[in-house]
Structure 1
Amino acid sequence: MAIHGLSESLYPKKPAHFNLESLIRPNILALHPYRCARDDYSEGILLDANENSLGHSIQPPKTARTELDEIEGLDLHRYPSPSHEPIKSKIAHIRNLPGPAHVFLGVGSDEVIDLLIRIIVKPGGEEKILITPPTYGMYSVCAQINDVGVVKVPLELESTHGEGGESGRFSLRVDKVKEAIDADPLIKIIFLCSPGNPTGTTIALSSVKQVLDYENFKGVVVVDEAYIDFANPSASATSLVTEYANLCVAQTLSKSFGLAAIRLGIAIAHPALVHVLNNAKAPYNISTPTAYLALRALSPESLDLKHNKITILNASREKLLQSFSTIPALGIPIGSNEANFIMVPVLDKNGKKDTDRAQAVYRTLAEEKGIVVRFRGKEVGCEACLRVTVGTEEENERLVEKLKEILAD
Structure 2
Amino acid sequence: MSVLDLVRPDLRDFAGYSSARRAGVGGTVWLNANENPWPGPVDAGQGLNRYPQPQPAALRDALATLYGAAPEQVLVGRGSDEAIDLLVRALCRPRIDAVVIASPVFGMYAVSARLQDAPLVDVPLIDGADGFAADLDAIGAAALARGAHLVFLCSPSNPTGEAVPLQAIAALARRLDGRAVVVVDEAYGEFSDQPSAVSLLATHPNVAVLRTLSKAHALAAARIGTLIAAPELIAVLRNCQAPYPLPTPCVTLALDALAPASLVRTRERVARLVAERERLRVRLADVAGVRRVYRSQGNYLLVRFDDTDGAFARLLAAGVVVRDMRANPALHDALRISIGTPDENDAVIAALHTERAAA
Tell me which interval the TM-score lies in, with the shorter structure as reference length.
0.7 to 0.9
Deviation of the 1:239 alpha carbon: 0.9
CA gap 1:194/1:325 in 2 versus in 1, 3 angstroms: same
> Which residue does 2:298 correspond to in 1?
339
Per the alignment, residue 138 of structure 2 pairs with: 176
Indicate the larger mover: 175-184 or 281-290: 175-184
Shift of 1:331: 1.9
- Name the CA shift for 1:71/1:256 in 2 (closer, same or farther; >3 Å): farther
Kindly provide the amino acid, as one letter, of the partner of residue 188 in structure 1: H
The separation in 2 between residues aligned to 1:71 and 1:358, in whole angstroms, is 49
- Alignment of structure 1 residues 353-364 onto 2, 5 Å: 357-364=307-314
Match of 1:219 among 173, 180, 187: 180
2:162 is aligned to 201
Deviations 1:2-27 (A, max 9, x none): xxxxxxxxxxxxxxxxxxxxxxxxxx
Aligned to 1:237: 197
- Which whole-Å CA distance do the structure 2 matches of 1:360 and 1:131 have between them? 31
String of CA shifts for 1:53-88, please: whole Å, max 9, x gaps: xxxxxxxxxxxxxxxxx9722101100111211111
Q: 1:136, 1:197 within 8 Å by CA — same for their partners in 2?
A: yes
Distance 1:402 1:249, change over 3 A: same
Q: Does 1:135 align with 2:94?
A: no
- d(CA) in 1 for partners of 2:190 and 2:176? 31
Q: Structure 1: give runs of 5+ residues left out of the alignment.
A: 1-69, 160-167, 348-356
Summarize deviations over 1:335-383 as a string: whole Å, max 9, x none: x310100011102xxxxxxxxx3134223422x2111011113425434
Residues 292 and 305 of structure 2 are in contact (CA less than 8 Å); yes or no, is this contact kept in structure 1?
no
1:285 partner amino acid: P
Counterpart among 45, 48, 59 of residue 73 in structure 1: 45
Aligned to 1:365: 315
* Paired position in structure 2 for 1:304: 264
| Structure 2: segments with no counterpart, 5+ residues | 1-41
Q: What are the equivalent positions in structure 2 for 1:8-407 lying under 5 Å apart?
A: 72-97=44-69, 99-123=70-94, 125-159=95-129, 168-184=130-146, 186-215=147-176, 218-232=179-193, 234-334=194-294, 336-347=295-306, 357-366=307-316, 368-407=317-356
Higher helix share: 2
* TM-score (normalizing by structure 1): 0.75
Q: 1:260 to 1:141 in 2, by over 3 A?
A: same
TM-score by length of 2: 0.85
Matched letter for residue 399 of structure 1 = V
Partner residue of 1:353? none
Change (3 A) 1:75 1:204: same
Identity rate of aligned residues, in percent?
A: 35
Alpha-carbon deviation of 1:267?
Answer: 0.1
Secondary structure in structure 2 of the residue aligned to 1:89? helix
| Structure 2 match to 1:165 | none
The alignment yields a C-alpha RMSD, in angstroms, of: 1.6
SS in 2 for 1:235: coil
Describe the SS at the equivalent of 1:344: strand
| Number of residue pairs the alignment of both structures matches | 317
Counterpart of 2:65, as a letter, is: H
Distance 2:189 2:43 in 1: 29
CA distance in 1, matches of 2:356, 2:219: 34
Structure 1 counterpart of 2:133, which letter?
S
Q: SS state of the match for residue 371, structure 1?
A: coil
- Displacement, 1:130? 0.3
Q: Secondary structure at the match of 2:315?
A: helix
Q: Distance in 1 between matches of 2:355 and 2:128?
A: 31
Check whether the contact 2:140–2:176 (CA below 8 A) recurs between aligned residues.
no
**How far apart are the structure 2 equivalents of 1:215 and 1:251?**
22
Change beyond 3 A, Cα 1:106–1:402: same
Moved more, 202-211 or 287-296: 202-211
Contact 2:143 2:180 in 1 (8 A): no
Rounded Cα–Cα distance in structure 2 between residues aligned with 1:101 and 1:157: 39
**Could you tell me how far 1:217 is from its partner in structure 2?**
5.8
**TM-superposed deviation, 1:301:** 0.4
Contact 1:358 1:375 (8 Å CA) reproduced: no
Could you tell me whether the CA contact under 8 Å between 1:200 and 1:338 is conserved in 2?
A: yes
Cα displacement string for residues 146-194 of structure 1 (whole angstroms, at most 9, x for unaligned residues): 11110011112232xxxxxxxx22222122113213322x211000000
